[in-house]
Structure 1
């Protein structure tokens, strides 16, 4: 068998190569995630420099695709690292590879990942930790939304439906739109999310122009294996909560959720996820991937957990050794804090205090709205 590896810009892939990539996604359920699509790789390539795709060929036929970003000195990372909740070398069943040979062909000394899907055995030696990634299995239910909610989440149904009715009565007619096409609502979501990042002391992702450009580009993508899906909860004509994330034919990735803090008492973030799960199930989605990370709402909603890997694939090179020595302790400290509630809670309080100072927000006693924000913002 003749093996070959070619390197391409993701936005310049030929139609036959894109079809072969889609075929590999379709043949393995683990590769159905929209973050693994050529559309997502191409979008990153359009908005951020250094994006490439390594294509594995067997006897001239393309059988595997590794999207990655190449930085200075051959330091590589999974495409969209820090934004993508699913990473892999997407391949046809039975295809394998030599990691060292792959890195040499890519011109990489190191390849860093943090959401590597399972069944990537050639990368197993590079994995430094595996983590839970909660998912929600979806089935189209009979009847209306209240019946679906009571059958699927009896513990949440009464409170959530009560808050929806209260929102309807006190603010305006409750309305949920699964696929909102008004770009102004995308900008509203990004504005809310930026405020949430600052309020909670996190880095504001939407302060980076390339991430804003990426979201705006993906909003316009309407393909079989990738659609930028914007969902919105309204009270009358007023938007209350919104979510933007990618979906494939069968997988919806929970990505950016935010809401108007004025309505925190109604638990709009949870309301959004429940409505989105029910509507997406009716629209053909079978899995909602909520991404790695511990959040209370994920524990409420999940039906099971996938395992994703974090680590560094390397080949003998001084840059690889230096990068690993620098990055691994940072990731290890972060993971230790996130894994232990006794450490996570004080760290979260510190970040919130920093966020309050940064936004010059006066600290107030925690009432119902503040408690709701803590629950939904994690």
Structure 2
């Protein structure tokens, strides 16, 4: 589960949560002794051309940094800036009497009205970081945060993710008044090669047998050889990788992750790394034709496997298996001690003996940004009202947005009244009046919605005991009325609840997720409204919920429907739900409670969903969180999909008129 702290409320010093967490991360690979304390000169580079001009000293600094990965090389980040990055950067070059001793390659992005500081390369870079010469790790980290503190007027949030535990960025304490959140971010499975291991000692007996059988099949089909790219063959083998990767994905009806927009970047990277001896691009040839590819990156003492691909025409021969075995053997012969499979927990990685190593995410927010957040709350109130006046949101959706931003019903009412002068007369005024009536006519339900949303704002259902807290909350709401337990959709109106339910049913039908031969399971079924609506459309409709009173209400609603199965769940997993039985696992507004409970609970539920699904089955997440950060939600869903073997078919669409939920549609896949 995510380890999270807020330094502005935690006591500072060696015993604070912040200090303990940073100490734990530093213990993984602490900075070497003899840390310098001199003040560093800072040069701020705003244009990518200025960063490119730093290539030679940058490369020399990389050579001095024993823990740096290939992703901090200029050969990786300069092509990223040219092909994918912004025109303006915020790169900080730190110098001492020794010359360049640190480099923080940053940029400022704008997202949902906030200015985010991030490391260059974010998105397709598996390990982000700054560079700091030995002995300067703490000085560089402190200088980065000191500069950001001085320029606090230029940014709101520093979102530093995909950091290894040994990152210099964990060496510095956040300035006073900042909030500081650190959480586990992504698992990167890694194989350790025993020192002096021979070819027969690299793999388990079972894996050796599989590789041997596959090689024999291929040998019978033709002449087999493995090529490793050099300057004369890098373009040919890269083209083969593009073709094989795309063919494999197209065979599954998808586009892959090496689309046309990314190819110039990877071509520049491959050529640059090849010139430095840091590229390990393999091609498995059968009678001269490249039937499998592996795009590897040489690291100090190891190799990283970035992307693979094979020609599906030869799938029966297991060319991907042979390619990967050959790459591991090549790495061992070169003296590599590790092979890093990078981000994602795809099952095949663990078949080679990989063990997870985690990256981390550090999010920093300065005091002025937090104060601005309060002003943003007022902006959210005004935005909710404007959306209704412009016809962009129905009164029901606008009202729930308004309640999410307001401190209470009085604030919501004041926001509506404050908009009257701008509404004037005509359609905008009529829509504003409809919003006012919606609030006045449904005050009891609106109070319930405000209570539910407030529980999230004050972390009332957050943390490891979130399932138990959520069960108590919804049991209390259900005791008031069944409609109160789903007030965010019904606003106390059974007719509105029926219409909102119908919108979700229509979406699932549009996706082709329903059918008389299909079995479905809902995570967080509540009062059974979907089980009752969907039972006539499917073979089996299962529903799980943490709240016993909700399950009692669901059983009353679904009485007489023999194909409905309802059960109380732990809120931690799917309990006794059968494996490989369901064509659809879906969650309607229950994932926000899992997100509040922490990463481990979310991760477990997605893993459990995969367990319950048949091959090719789908997971539908309708509303992922209440954080109000679409980019963060989409990124989290994408990581979960990659980790547990899903493809993302729909990400963050807003398909409903009566509910503000975002839709995510994932399909189970068997391999990549």
User: Which category of TM-score, normalised to the shorter sequence, fits these structures?
Assistant: 0.7 to 0.9
8 Å contact 1:197–1:203 — kept in the other structure?
yes
Moved more, 154-163 or 307-316: 307-316
Q: Counterpart in 1 of 2:190?
A: 135
Match of 2:94 among 40, 43, 56: 56
1:110 equivalent to 2:157? Answer yes
Shift in CA distance, 38/198, structure 1 to aligned 2, threshold 3 Å: same
Give the Cα–Cα distance (whole angstroms) in 2 for the partners of residues 138 and 224 of structure 1. Answer: 26
Give the Cα–Cα distance (whole angstroms) in 1 for the partners of residues 235 and 186 of structure 2. Answer: 35
Match of 1:66 among 84, 88, 104: 104
Give the Cα–Cα distance (whole angstroms) in 2 for the partners of residues 213 and 292 of structure 1. Answer: 22
Match of 1:342 among 608, 611, 618: 608
Q: Counterpart in 2 of 1:18?
A: 59
8 Å contact 1:231–1:243 — kept in the other structure?
yes
8 Å contact 1:140–1:278 — kept in the other structure?
no
Task: Provide TM-score, normalisation by structure 2.
Answer: 0.45
Equivalent residues in 2 for 1:19-98, closer than 5 Å: 19-23=60-64, 25-26=65-66, 30-31=67-68, 33-50=69-86, 51-58=89-96, 61-72=99-110, 74-94=115-135, 95-96=137-138, 97-98=141-142
Shift in CA distance, 20/259, structure 1 to aligned 2, threshold 3 Å: same
Q: Counterpart in 2 of 1:312?
A: 363
1:243 equivalent to 2:294? Answer yes
Shift in CA distance, 245/104, structure 1 to aligned 2, threshold 3 Å: farther
Q: Counterpart in 1 of 2:259?
A: 207
8 Å contact 1:226–1:246 — kept in the other structure?
no
Give the Cα–Cα distance (whole angstroms) in 2 for the partners of residues 113 and 337 of structure 1. Answer: 22
Query: What SS does the aligned partner of 2:127 have?
Result: coil
Give the Cα–Cα distance (whole angstroms) in 1 for the partners of residues 260 and 372 of structure 2. Answer: 27
1:265-293: CA deviation from partner (whole Å, max 9, x where unpaired): 23322322221011022224332211122
1:219 equivalent to 2:487? Answer no
Q: Counterpart in 2 of 1:3?
A: 40
1:298-354: CA deviation from partner (whole Å, max 9, x where unpaired): 1122454322113433334279968xxxxxx8x959966655421245497336695
Match of 2:227 among 150, 153, 177: 177
Q: Counterpart in 1 of 2:404?
A: none
8 Å contact 1:129–1:311 — kept in the other structure?
no
Shift in CA distance, 320/284, structure 1 to aligned 2, threshold 3 Å: farther
Shift in CA distance, 168/17, structure 1 to aligned 2, threshold 3 Å: closer
8 Å contact 1:132–1:305 — kept in the other structure?
yes
CA RMSD of aligned residues (A): 3.7
Query: What SS does the aligned partner of 2:165 have?
Result: coil
Equivalent residues in 2 for 1:187-336, closer than 5 Å: 187-197=239-249, 204-209=256-261, 211-222=262-273, 227-316=278-367, 317=369
Give the Cα–Cα distance (whole angstroms) in 2 for the partners of residues 130 and 137 of structure 1. Answer: 22
Give the Cα–Cα distance (whole angstroms) in 1 for the partners of residues 595 and 72 of structure 2. Answer: 26
Shift in CA distance, 92/303, structure 1 to aligned 2, threshold 3 Å: same
8 Å contact 1:131–1:309 — kept in the other structure?
yes
Query: What SS does the aligned partner of 1:207 have?
Result: coil
Shift in CA distance, 2/352, structure 1 to aligned 2, threshold 3 Å: closer
8 Å contact 1:228–1:247 — kept in the other structure?
yes
8 Å contact 1:160–1:271 — kept in the other structure?
yes
Cα displacement (A) at 1:198: 5.1
Match of 2:204 among 135, 142, 153: 153
Give the Cα–Cα distance (whole angstroms) in 2 for the partners of residues 119 and 133 of structure 1. Answer: 14
Where does structure 1 lack aligned partners over 5 or more consecutive residues? Answer: 323-328, 356-372
Query: What SS does the aligned partner of 2:166 have?
Result: coil
1:36-87: CA deviation from partner (whole Å, max 9, x where unpaired): 2222122212222325532233457432222234324642322222211111
Give the Cα–Cα distance (whole angstroms) in 1 for the partners of residues 256 and 90 of structure 2. Answer: 26
Give the Cα–Cα distance (whole angstroms) in 2 for the partners of residues 280 and 59 of structure 1. Answer: 38
Cα displacement (A) at 1:191: 2.8
Shift in CA distance, 352/67, structure 1 to aligned 2, threshold 3 Å: closer
Shift in CA distance, 155/91, structure 1 to aligned 2, threshold 3 Å: same
1:97-121: CA deviation from partner (whole Å, max 9, x where unpaired): 3354243578543333432111332
Task: Provide TM-score, normalisation by structure 1.
Answer: 0.76
Query: What SS does the aligned partner of 2:258 have?
Result: helix
Shift in CA distance, 320/296, structure 1 to aligned 2, threshold 3 Å: farther
Cα displacement (A) at 1:19: 1.3
Give the Cα–Cα distance (whole angstroms) in 2 for the partners of residues 284 and 230 of structure 1. Answer: 17
Query: What SS does the aligned partner of 1:6 have?
Result: strand
Q: Counterpart in 2 of 1:358?
A: none
Shift in CA distance, 102/229, structure 1 to aligned 2, threshold 3 Å: farther
Q: Counterpart in 1 of 2:484?
A: none
Give the Cα–Cα distance (whole angstroms) in 2 for the partners of residues 199 and 114 of structure 1. Answer: 33
Structure with bigger RCO (C-alpha 8 Å, 6+ apart):
1
